[in-house]
Structure 1
Amino acid sequence: MGDRFEIRVAGSGGQGVILAAVILGEAAALRTEGLNSVQSQAYGPEARGGASKSEVVYDRDEIDYPKASHPNLQVILTQKACDTYSHDTAKGATVIFDDFFVT
């Protein structure tokens, strides 16, 4: 079994959620030999302000499921994202909240 590590960035459209995950996925895959990464995203139809989520999965083995089920790291930028996604954080994981938008 590999060293699977899952990251989720969640917030709203216009906050750079998808761009952040793309950069995280590409940087690790390019800089770490033998590390695989996959990035997935989901967002609402609104141009700005709709729900937005992006995930990155890293593993030294082949990645057979590209979604984060229990993220090891979460970056949560809105209260709605907190309410929706914070419950499935992995035990001992790190969660970073934007304390301006998350109470």
Structure 2
Amino acid sequence: MMEKCRLVFSGSGGQGIITAAILLAEAAVLHEGLNAVQSQSYGAQARGGAARSDVIIWDKPVYYPKVIQPNVLVCLTQTAYNKYHPTIRPGGLLITDTALVKVDKSAEARLAWLPFQDQIKQEMGNARGLNICVLGAVAALTQIVSIPSLESAVAGRFDERFREANLKALHMGIALGSQRSSASV
């Protein structure tokens, strides 16, 4: 029996956090045989407004789709961090970007403060793929789904014109997550 994993992906519209959450849920359901629910909310603006997506993954039925206190919290903007970091479960995992979020040391969580945006820009020339890079780190750090399951979900989601770039971004995130040592906030 696995422990229920409650994840919140947060940031702003246009960063692709909802896509990342959907891909994680798809990998869990379609490739791991687990149960998953994914819900989302976003501000009035398609780009730039607040965005949040909740994912619950478990080997038992999930009856309520909203995450109140996440085990894993991903924050890709300072606003999202300021709003959601107090909700993380003690001992949970906070994943954020060194260039996008300044972390204060008040949360009782493990911290993965990684250079996603810098890595993506350096390797790919722009910030496209940031969400998929973060998704790779989530998989490496939590092991909630296997890397092959996530690769299959990503490959199945994107048109072949974008598939290779997204798989590259996924593997950059996996490498970042795998290299990180556990630290407390």
Q: How does the TM-score come out when normalised to structure 1?
A: 0.92
State the distance in 1 between where 2:29 and 2:3 align: 14
In terms of mean alpha carbon deviation, does 64-73 or 7-16 score higher? 64-73
SS at 1:37 equivalent:
strand
Corresponding position of 1:26: 26
SS at 1:29 equivalent:
helix
Corresponding position of 2:52: 53
Corresponding position of 2:85: 86
Corresponding position of 1:3: 3
SS at 2:73 equivalent:
strand
Letter in 2 for 1:14: G
SS at 1:63 equivalent:
coil
Structure number with higher helix proportion: 2
Shift of residue 3 of structure 1? 2.6
Corresponding position of 2:12: 12
Letter in 1 for 2:44: P
Q: Looking at both structures, which has the greater relative contact order when contacts are Cα pairs under 8 Å and sequence separation is at least 6? A: 1
Shift of residue 2 of structure 1? 6.5
Shift of residue 87 of structure 1? 0.5
Deviations 1:42-66 (A, max 9, x none): 0011021000000100111111111
Corresponding position of 2:65: 66
Corresponding position of 1:76: 75
Letter in 2 for 1:52: A
Quote the sequence identity (%): 44
Unaligned residue ranges in structure 1 (runs of 5+): none
Q: How does the TM-score come out when normalised to structure 2?
A: 0.53
Corresponding position of 2:166: none
State the distance in 2 between where 1:56 and 1:83 align: 20
State the distance in 1 between where 2:87 and 2:46 align: 27
Asked if 1:102 corresponds to 2:101, the answer is yes
State the distance in 2 between where 1:62 and 1:3 align: 12
The RMSD of aligned alpha carbons is 1.4
State the distance in 2 between where 1:20 and 1:99 align: 19
Structure number with higher strand proportion: 1
